[in-house]
Structure 1
Amino acid sequence: MKKFALLLFLLNVSFVFAQQQVSGVVKDNTGNALPGVNIVEKGTQNGVSTDMDGAYKIKVKEGATLVFSYVGFSKLEKVVTDATLNVVLSEEGGQNLDEVVVTGTRTAPRSNTTSALPIDVLSSKDLTSTGQASFDKALQYKIPSFNTVQTPVNDATSLLDPYEIRNMGPSRTLILINGKRKNMSSLVYTQTSPGRGETGSDISAIPTDAIERVEILRDGASAQYGSDAIAGVMNIILKKNASLGSVTLRTGITSEGDGEMYGVSLNNGSTVGNKGFINYTVDFSKVALANRPGKVNADGEIADFGANPADVNAFLALKPDAGNVNGSPETAAAKFLVNGGVDYNENNQMYYNAAYVYKKVNSFANYRTPYWRSVDAMPYLATLFGNGTAASYQGYVPTFEGDLNDYNATIGYKSTKNGWNTDVSLTTGGNTQIYTVSNSQNRSFIDDNGNDAKDPGENFLYGINTPITFKPGGTSFNHYVGNIDISKNLSDQLSLGFGSEFRTENFEIFAGDLASYTGNRSGADSFQGNTPENSGKFNRYNLGLYLDVALDITEDFLVNGTVRYEDYSDFGSATVWKASTRYKFSDDKITLRASLSTGFRAPSLHQIYTQKSQSSFVPGQGIVVQGLINNVSSAARASGVPKLDSEKSTNFTAGIGLKPNKNFNLTIDYYNIKVEDRIVLGNPITFSPTNTSAFFVNGIDSRTSGIDLVAGYKNLIIGSGKMGFNISGNYTLQNEIDGPVKNPASVVAVNQSVIDKTQEALLFTSRPQFKIIGGAEYELGKFGFTLNNTVFGPTKFKNAGMSNDLRVEFLTKMVTDLGVSYSASDKLTLALNVNNLLNVLPEWKFKAENADGTKILNGTSTVTSEREQFNLVTFNGRYSQMTYDGYHFSQLGTMFNLSLNYKF
């Protein structure tokens, strides 16, 4: 990274001559500010673009002429005669720049209402208006097909939350930054949480203030971009403004008085000589712990732990929540990002961007109660976690601390010669996570020879000699990506694009310290360390080639075809294709579009090589240690686990776009996605009394279909102000296993399955059946008001161990967000956001699957009771609110967020 930064510095060094500074605001003829207008000093490469409020600032020579250009508007030239120059652009076609997208095609950009593919475009203003503290949470309340949840007490999952588009898991959405592939996280989700068995990029690491806009392609795009694009592509476009800067102060708190948030963000830019620009963002934030434990049921504890009722009741009288710390963890983050480039002349440009993020998360494991970890069985606990007396020992709660480092950088060169556009780039990126477990113990008794000691009185290495802080290791992932993209408009009707990508990936598992994994109790209590045998470095490379052809048969009729070939060093090759079409009529007011494509997703290195022991909550058994064997191990071969192959997909999308006037737009799209050989992390399989293991396998085919709707109306004059409305929604028609589970023969032989009702629910029915976002914004003088209502549809879950006669169902809920902003001056804006204004919390209930289930709920069952089932799925009430599975919005209640933005 140091060499990369030095290279960027040397490329941008040049002399800066004295110039005149000009600033102003660019608006359309209805008074709307225009973000993203290109402003160039005529005859030079000196240029800037307007910010989200239409403002700009540029240094030019005295008497210079500024050229204002904006897609869909007439180009305007103005001579600089003053330090302030405000302009109004006249509209030609009613197509704003933020409606023109570069995602989804490797040839020429298209409009999102007239493109052949469904694409959402969100500006930075759209993201900040949500009041959410991070980029991924802002998307949750703007994109109906996008979902992300925060999972409690799930170890490394607390470092970054799983996300997904169209219920397809995080690994099937490709993340791009300025059109280049972002690195994956080093974490594979192995706990019972959304995204189990998958990995994705850490999109929460991207500072919102660095983003100009986000383009989300809701369609399979493996043919254009390669692996991981089965569900769609998210392209994050960074700010390019070289003159205007701002600093934002943020703070927030929940209505319960916890979860305090503090943050400061600086975004600024500068010209570099007459030909270059640089834009940079620095963001620091800290969020305090928000705790939402449930009230623990004594009868369930007595049954699970075989404990003395008097001991249980005495402890729960002291700690009704059994000491559990269950909620949103304490998080601190530092984020740095730079975006820049140099226009050497009108045909040659160098560009670059780089980012670094450090994140530290402090979370907690389940509290080890004194009747769970008994001082009678382990007398030394009174010394480790008390003052030496048995009465002083009240259990202990292990902490889980994670340190995350994430970086990415791209440098590239664009040139145009004889109409041929060439883009050559090199991208690198990586993610490292290192873990620490504190306030814990190694419960193993080991004698001097390394053998299990039966008598705690023997000379042993652990017990009273156990460490209480452990370093269980961690993981690292990085990649290097080289791209060559070439395109040309061969005629007014025919565009051609082709190119190649070479990528090398490296995955490393770091071994923990000896005490974190050794002993007859599997090492550190709560989170076992990586053993040397389970650790190591792993890598692979792949080469991809693509060809993209777009033909405008007529001005209204477009067809686009793409074919791609990929060859991986570890599992082989894949060839995929895509065909799309679009037809416009009624003066571009109506657009019909459709696409059909095949796709693939290579098994990640994480899925191939991860092998570990981990603590998990098993209903009725409490916390147990289970094993995960990697796909290339001798244990996998001995257990009959087949080698992983790539997933294959078939995507079909069809839709209509309406834009009857410049203020109204509507798109409706149907999608149908079939995934064959979908990779899943299966249930632990008991092959023998001494061999119970979980593993990754191409276990199922799946079918997902649904409908997306996006509509908006703007510039409605009400009183002295202007109002805009938007509504968008996603409705899932199908999300299910397609055909029988593909169990390996060895699993069939022991009459088990890698997918049970719990896994099936986690993959499919634990997502909202529908999600609707309806909002309005009103601008009145210096005030701005936003009101958004997000409806989360029902979800269903089947917790492990619960009766087959019941299911858990989360009810439909609506979350209301209110925002108020006040522009005290052209430079100072104050904004207050109240998220979840009505303090709505997820709510679940048991639902009967049959007559026996009805008896349980009516209290007439002679087999089990609703209370017993409640204890099973909530760990005796520990997770009555912050439950593991099925919820889909924040369980922290109302959040108050205040921000102060100052422009300079």
Structure 2
Amino acid sequence: MKIKNAKLNCHKKNKFSKKTAIAMAISLPLMTTTSIQSFAQEQKAEDTVEKVIVTGTRMMNRSAADSPVPVDIISGDEFRQNSSADVQDMLRTAVPSFNVNSQPISDAATIVRPANLRGLSPDNVLVLVNGKRRHRGSIISFLGGGISDGAQGVDISAIPSMALKQVEVLRDGASSQYGSDAIAGVLNFILKDESEGFEVVARYGSTYEGDGDNYTIAANAGLPLGDSGFVNLTAEIKDVEGTVRSVVRSDVAGMIDGGYLQSSDFLEINSYTGEVPQYWGTPDVEGDVKLFINSAYEINDKAELYLFGNYGEREVTGGFFYRNPVTEGSQRGGVYAGPKVNPATGLLDPNGVHSVLVGDLDGGSSCIDGIPINGVIPDAGFLADVAASDNCFSFITDIPNGFVPRFGGNNEDQAITVGVRGELSVGTGLSYDLSAQRGSNKTEFFIRNTINASLGPATPRDFVPGGQEQTETQFNVDFVYRVDAGFESELNIAFGAEYREEEFDLFAGDAASFALGPLASQGFSSSSNGFGGFPRDTSASQDSTAFYVDVETDITEQLTLAVAVRTEEFSEFGNTTDFKVASIFHVSDDFRIRGAISTGFHAPTAGQANITNVTTQNVQGVLVDQGTLPLSSAAGQLGADFIASAGNGRPSLGPEEANNFSIGVGFDVAGSVWTIDYYNIELTDRVSLGANVDFLDALNFTGGAGSNFATVSEALTTLDAQGVIDRQQFVGLDDLSEFRFFSNSFSTTTTGIDIVGNYSFDMWGGDSRLTVAANYNKTEVDSVGTINPISAGRVAAIEDLLPTTRANISWSHTEGQIRTLLRANYYGGWDDTGNGVNGIGAEVLIDAQVAYQFNDQLEFVVGVDNLLDAYPEENPGAGGSGQLYSESSPFGFNGGTWYLQARYTY
């Protein structure tokens, strides 16, 4: 294990008002006293009750031990026993095959972090709340580390941990039961349903480095609703300060050595930290508010009304790369850098050196005598000449030290589900569940401390590039009929229908965020630098209708069999039919064998089919504009024509298909309970962002034989004049170097083994419990695709970016008023080929927690995650990028963290 000794001196904000609020919040539980059971009593009682599941089965009272497929149950209290208050980080600790990374410089993925189960895309796992499908997030992860590129998954972080009664993790394909996305598995977040009691938790934590200060205040209350109902309410507020784990880049160090820049200029460059010129660390999360409600009311002995929903909002702010004003190779084209010229003659020369971009504000060929546009090599009098001229403009005089864009967004999430369930007539065995739900997730972007270079001196420094929203409406009719068919148990026949509609909306940004300003024709880039604005409002939708039958029974006392079939038709992609057969055989009371075979699918979302986005990426040290455009758009069709000209076929977009197989055993030995499960997932025609299409090459192809346009702008203007294209359909794309679109492309095979075990025993006069969870997971790319293949870099990321082996072992012990937890987390080796870092070694992180039950109501907790302050191996290219560690680290890069917590229950 590598322990970091020399600490990076990172910026720490002083927020006196926040710490005062935290101190007041922690003191609140001291104001009242009432008795409840201690956590130790609750845990011991829980261990004696057979754990009943509702995920992966529609039979009543099916236990996890008797399930034909593996289902893990994580209690709410167990789930919250770590330093993070983010549900995704909690899952990473509890479920070894679940992975989520920090996203320092990942555009919109910084706002809603993509998560992976079994190494597959975020939209290959289905998320349920109270057994109902959760709406997707509004973010499409264009920079998803290779594994999650292009995914549009659920915003799991919108769910507060305080609201959870338990989490059920179905580790098997279930598309035939639940529909699209349930390929890698299902996460079912089950909300608390108590009708009495009150709990409040206040937590404060930070990193060993002294940055990343965070606090969470959460409360849950159960209230009766008449004599036969309940309302359970949860509220949470959270604030997380960002961290800085970057270094001074080598080009910046050269500027300092040459006297051009001083380290005291860093705060002017980025307004965040005076230690380094750019941000690189976990983002700031501010104003994070989550509200959840769960309720039900029994109308009579045959029917119950229910309602649950949520509202949440937060602001997430990250950073981008430093825009260097002078150093060749790291300049931002279209802002500071002009073309290469001969230093002796000042004439254009591809083998020369970069000149400085200078604009003529009157639109002429030279702003003053002796200073031609796009061909200036600075000398001693250059800055003075440009600054003295009313007609000359250069950002090297206006923003001489460079700048670092600060990017983020305001996210709003809301949902409501209402329904009625019960029996049509008591004793008939026919029960029903009718429900309707609507949910949306909306993100409004902002980018600050940047420019629209084409606007010259009139450019704003802050922009609103627009936003995007995902809205889903769903209606379900579900029936379960239980009939005596002569088997060991009743034959459970579940059947039903679902109608789902989803809409994806893009909102236009402010005019300056996508404007093609007057200096665009002189080589200055358009749109807000780093994240261009959306030029217009757009909306796209699709709907689907599904029918299913799900049959399950205990044929004998030893044998259980389950069969499910589902057919679903999409308005945009046709129909698909999927099935599942699963069984478990109890060889003895202590040994059982289970297995399942199924098919599955993931249908492209309306967002994936219609998104337009332009981002700035670091490609071999040079920042270039790369776009994602709809395949159906004018530019997308030009790209499809260009790809088809190679003779391999024309790109198309439809569902991806999966075949799942799993087999496992469960056994009890010496008081411990173990399960071992093998799985194989073959996924074909995967929906992905294909290889980048060179925009200029596609335009030259469209122009026909003899076309040799020098720039995208020239090509668009000429082809529009010729009537070949409509220029208005290409607004905002003049600076686009290359673009890609969603299509069906590659195929993969994922194999793995899950091992789960637990053992409860008496020790030292108290109750102890050991829990072991391990996962081996390997994904191999069987085909990169022939029509629109994925890149070698993405293949490497899919196969090697995540550790193949993850495991943790935890020991919890309760004795009297003291509860302790010690956990070791193992992360196997992995490769980050994107940053040229291969053979990264395995790490073991140690977590520790001590809780003291002060009285029946009040508990204090102190804990440390990553006790030994382990860090991933340093990035050998840190001097070039400024990134001290790989952002793909499976356990982050902040080092050790500590936290204090007080919990009051009534």
| TM-score, reference length from structure 2 | 0.79
Answering whether residue 532 of structure 2 is matched by residue 524 of structure 1, we say no
* CA deviation after TM superposition for structure 1 residue 620, in Å: 2.9
2:177 corresponds in structure 1 to: 224
Q: Kindly report which structure 2 residues correspond to 1:117-516, keeping only aligned pairs within 5 A, or say none.
A: 117-193=69-145, 194-298=147-251, 310=258, 323-332=277-286, 333-371=288-326, 372=331, 374=336, 377=357, 393-416=400-423, 417=425, 418-444=428-454, 462-491=455-484, 492-516=489-513
2:380 corresponds in structure 1 to: none
Answering whether residue 801 of structure 2 is matched by residue 766 of structure 1, we say yes
Q: Kindly report which structure 2 residues correspond to 1:811-890, keeping only aligned pairs within 5 A, or say none.
A: 811-843=841-873, 870-871=876-877, 874=878, 876-881=880-885, 883-884=886-887, 886-890=888-892
User: SS of the residue aligned with 1:737?
Assistant: strand
Distance 1:174 1:705 in 2: 19
Give the letter for the 1:694 counterpart: R
Match of 1:551 among 550, 553, 560: 553
1:541 corresponds in structure 2 to: 543
Give the letter for the 1:827 counterpart: Q
Give the letter for the 1:722 counterpart: D
* CA deviation after TM superposition for structure 1 residue 296, in Å: 1.5
* CA deviation after TM superposition for structure 1 residue 634, in Å: 2.8
Q: Which has the higher contact order (CA 8 A, sep 6+)?
A: 2
CA distance change for structure 1 residues 106 and 718 in 2, over 3 Å: closer, same or farther? Answer: closer
Distance 1:489 1:729 in 2: 37
* CA deviation after TM superposition for structure 1 residue 690, in Å: 6.0
Report Cα offsets for 1:401-439 as digits up to 9, x if no partner: 310001121111111122111011111111000011111
Distance 1:391 1:634 in 2: 37
CA distance change for structure 1 residues 382 and 249 in 2, over 3 Å: closer, same or farther? Answer: farther
Match of 2:686 among 675, 678, 697: 678
Range with bigger deviation, 188-197 or 232-241: 188-197
Distance 2:440 2:677 in 1: 35
Q: Is the 8 A contact 1:408 1:429 kept in 2?
A: yes
Distance 2:439 2:415 in 1: 4
2:620 corresponds in structure 1 to: 619
CA distance change for structure 1 residues 756 and 222 in 2, over 3 Å: closer, same or farther? Answer: same
Q: Is the 8 A contact 1:174 1:229 kept in 2?
A: yes
User: SS of the residue aligned with 1:137?
Assistant: helix
Q: Is the 8 A contact 2:35 2:856 kept in 1?
A: no
1:851 corresponds in structure 2 to: none
User: SS of the residue aligned with 2:797?
Assistant: helix
Q: Is the 8 A contact 1:683 1:759 kept in 2?
A: no
Answering whether residue 742 of structure 2 is matched by residue 729 of structure 1, we say no
Give the letter for the 1:741 counterpart: V
Distance 1:421 1:597 in 2: 27
Report Cα offsets for 1:762-794 as digits up to 9, x if no partner: 223101110011110111110111011111111
Q: Is the 8 A contact 2:408 2:446 kept in 1?
A: yes
Distance 2:447 2:387 in 1: 20
Distance 2:419 2:266 in 1: 62
User: SS of the residue aligned with 1:825?
Assistant: coil
Report Cα offsets for 1:845-878 as digits up to 9, x if no partner: 7xxxxxxxxxxxxxxxxxxxxxxxx44xx47041
Give the letter for the 1:413 counterpart: V
Q: Is the 8 A contact 1:131 1:819 kept in 2?
A: no
Q: Is the 8 A contact 1:682 1:759 kept in 2?
A: no
Report Cα offsets for 1:491-547 as digits up to 9, x if no partner: 234111101111010100111112111223131112111122xx4011111101000
Report % sequence identity. Answer: 30
Give the letter for the 1:717 counterpart: D
Q: Is the 8 A contact 1:810 1:887 kept in 2?
A: no
Distance 2:305 2:507 in 1: 38
Q: Kindly report which structure 2 residues correspond to 1:513-662, keeping only aligned pairs within 5 A, or say none.
A: 513-519=510-516, 520=520, 521-532=525-536, 535-587=537-589, 589-621=590-622, 623-640=623-640, 642-660=651-669
CA distance change for structure 1 residues 313 and 463 in 2, over 3 Å: closer, same or farther? Answer: closer
Q: Kindly report which structure 2 residues correspond to 1:790-829, keeping only aligned pairs within 5 A, or say none.
A: 790-799=825-834, 808-829=838-859
Give the letter for the 2:205 counterpart: G
Distance 2:681 2:812 in 1: 35
* CA deviation after TM superposition for structure 1 residue 550, in Å: 1.0
* CA deviation after TM superposition for structure 1 residue 389, in Å: 11
Distance 2:639 2:403 in 1: 38
CA distance change for structure 1 residues 737 and 382 in 2, over 3 Å: closer, same or farther? Answer: farther
Q: Is the 8 A contact 2:497 2:548 kept in 1?
A: yes
Give the letter for the 1:743 counterpart: T
* CA deviation after TM superposition for structure 1 residue 288, in Å: 1.0
Q: Is the 8 A contact 2:248 2:277 kept in 1?
A: no
1:706 corresponds in structure 2 to: 752
Distance 2:612 2:755 in 1: 42
* CA deviation after TM superposition for structure 1 residue 119, in Å: 0.8
Give the letter for the 1:324 counterpart: Q
User: SS of the residue aligned with 2:153?
Assistant: coil
Give the letter for the 1:786 counterpart: L
* CA deviation after TM superposition for structure 1 residue 282, in Å: 0.7
Distance 2:259 2:213 in 1: 36
User: SS of the residue aligned with 1:195?
Assistant: coil
Report Cα offsets for 1:732-754 as digits up to 9, x if no partner: 2x31111x32232xx6xxxxxx3
Distance 2:190 2:118 in 1: 22
* Structure 1 residue ranges without an equivalent (≥5): 1-21, 35-51, 55-69, 71-93, 445-461, 748-753, 846-869
CA distance change for structure 1 residues 784 and 322 in 2, over 3 Å: closer, same or farther? Answer: closer
Report Cα offsets for 1:227-247 as digits up to 9, x if no partner: 010111000000011111111
1:455 corresponds in structure 2 to: none
Report Cα offsets for 1:545-591 as digits up to 9, x if no partner: 0001113220110111000000111110000000000011322x211
Distance 1:771 1:382 in 2: 59
* CA deviation after TM superposition for structure 1 residue 637, in Å: 2.4
Give the letter for the 2:459 counterpart: T
Distance 1:559 1:294 in 2: 58
* CA deviation after TM superposition for structure 1 residue 880, in Å: 2.6
Match of 1:782 among 810, 813, 817: 817
How many residue pairs get matched?
751
1:852 corresponds in structure 2 to: none
Q: Is the 8 A contact 2:639 2:698 kept in 1?
A: no
Distance 2:763 2:260 in 1: 63
Distance 2:65 2:387 in 1: 68
Give the letter for the 2:416 counterpart: A
* CA deviation after TM superposition for structure 1 residue 108, in Å: 3.3
Distance 1:556 1:482 in 2: 37
1:864 corresponds in structure 2 to: none
Distance 2:169 2:387 in 1: 56
Give the letter for the 2:797 counterpart: L
* CA deviation after TM superposition for structure 1 residue 394, in Å: 2.6
Distance 2:264 2:862 in 1: 40
User: SS of the residue aligned with 1:116?
Assistant: coil
Give the letter for the 2:95 counterpart: I
